[in-house]
Chain A
């Protein structure tokens, strides 16, 4: 990981806290014992992710892990509570005016729900042309611009006067991609872009992603809960659990030698197409709620190898092999463990 060339996209120690604003008289109610203090929800806890230019980083995690929140923060839709987002090495928050807009346009987002991510009352041509028109990115006729944008994602340009509800789910997702590409981004943050689509359409749209990456030299942050898809498209994989990064490594490495017990469980429990049934041996316990996370390592209540230290100290993310980092106390040498246990 060279520090000299800035990453295309980087999140540095990003945290996101959701705190309910204090209601009127809440202080009084609390003193009278009628109300308990509102606990802030920590959706993200000092998460750092680096995406190098031209890379595809796969982000995997289950509900409550904060991946959607992280996606919106790095895409510039929402500011983090603390930490910073850097685009080409420059902090997003420090930019202003035209520079800020340019930086925002560099990172575009593809959403999960193809039905909700298009304005139902706008024609497809307006949907695609709106932002480029506003930011002066269209050279020549707007109609040609829209045609090219649609063709790039495999849609017939003669349908550009239609409304979103006249398209199928897969086609709508292509419109979403065309809209994102219309502002010539360099990084695409894809939040479960194919999960809502039929299997046969998923393959088409995934192929589209792979083709576009080559043709336009794009960089992806690809979020998915489907490990098979992540394995197929990613160069590197980051695993998240309840607001923290628990493991990250190059794709083949993490699938062959998963280090963190959560990663191991995920890989073991993901059903695969294999002739012959299997016996399931799932890990116990429910996903804890982000508003009441377990102390120390978030995974310890469900971990088959939990030790006393896991309950009190959150393990740091450390290298276990070149390019492979994991946050688990099992990796740490016994001597260092004794220093960590609080007295």
Chain B
């Protein structure tokens, strides 16, 4: 089952608008007993308003830590040790916690894989929404309740007025995730960071959530960073893709370009190893070896040990090069 590409959707924000988020050379390190873990090791990307960036990688690639770094959620002894995060023109890399709290939930929102990380099991859904609203804006309770109902309806929850008094455990997993998204969208944030929000959900429910997010992001012009290990989900949703490996972005560019002409051997290997990209009954194309241990990364290109095209040149860390307009790469041997 090798699918034919489908037509691109017509309504997309132009990539030339001033970017909502500019990340340059972000480095987040965690000191551990085994050594310093360079979870995020020089990551740079932009996200424009209304565009969806898919941040793809496997476990240990640093994609979730990148999201946490942007939100200032890195707990000591870990810390952002280098680089800059510029949000709406303002440098928030080392913003004090109080200022960060005014941004979180208001201008930048996060959706987690487990909606129970957002929802307190002893509070009703209504309390969650009303509290979030009144934390950042002076509104009356009745006004807040009305807006809460609107938010629930916008994410497709039926009979929202009745559901306001319900507790999280009375909802199914998919509904809970929708509530989490509703909370994220309450203040019309400029940026949403979604960390694997549909990984634990069924295919049919996942499709519903993707649909809602796509619709709402386009309607409100919200920039979205969608973190996932699932290339298929990202390919269907994202405008741009960035592929991460061992804390670095190895390839990034428009989704079409990266998926149709992957230049980095890892991206190629990743796409190639998906079952639907292989002939039925044949052995899957696989990337040999195992993911690296972040505590002692080899010098130079971290993918070297598993790459079929590695040469002596790869012992030096490749800098970012451009293979096509907007399509960037960290590799000495880009694949045609």
Contacts and interface: CB of A to CB of B under 8 A. Distances in A.
A286 B174 contact: yes
A339 to B, nearest CB: 33
A233 to B, nearest CB: 8
A179 to B, nearest CB: 21
A251 B280 contact: yes
B164 interface: no
Among B203, B277, B285, B290, chain A packs the most CB atoms within 10 A around the CB of B203
B1 A276 contact: no
B8 interface: yes
* A: contact size bracket: 35 or more
Given A200-B273, A275-B235, A277-B237, A269 B286 contact: no
17 contacts: A168-B290, A198-B291, A199-B273, A199-B274, A203-B273, A203-B285, A203-B287, A206-B275, A207-B283, A228-B275, A232-B281, A251-B280, A272-B236, A274-B4, A274-B259, A276-B5, A280-B208
A278 B275 contact: no
A81 interface: no
B259 A282 contact: no
A275 B256 contact: yes
A314 interface: no
A204 B286 contact: yes
B131 interface: no
Interface of B: 1, 3-9, 58-59, 172-175, 202-208, 210-211, 214, 229-233, 235-239, 255-257, 259-260, 269-271, 273-278, 280-281, 283-287, 290-291
A313 interface: no
B285 A271 contact: no
Nearest to B254: A275
A271 B59 CA distance: 21
B203 A270 contact: yes
B6 A199 contact: no
A273 B232 contact: yes
Among A168, A202, A211, A275, chain B packs the most CB atoms within 10 A around the CB of A275
Given A210-B283, A225-B203, A287-B204, A200 B291 contact: yes
A207 B286 contact: yes
Nearest to B214: A280
A226 interface: yes
A29 interface: no
B283 A231 contact: no
A283 interface: yes
Interface in A87-108: none
Contacts of B202: 62-63, 225, 287
Interface string A198-240: 1111111011001100000000000001111101110000000
A189 B173 CA distance: 27
A231 to B, nearest CB: 5
A198 B59 contact: yes
Given A199-B273, A269-B203, A271-B237, 19 more contacts: A62-B203, A200-B286, A200-B287, A207-B286, A228-B276, A232-B281, A266-B204, A269-B204, A269-B207, A271-B207, A271-B235, A272-B3, A272-B236, A273-B232, A274-B3, A275-B256, A275-B260, A277-B238, A277-B255
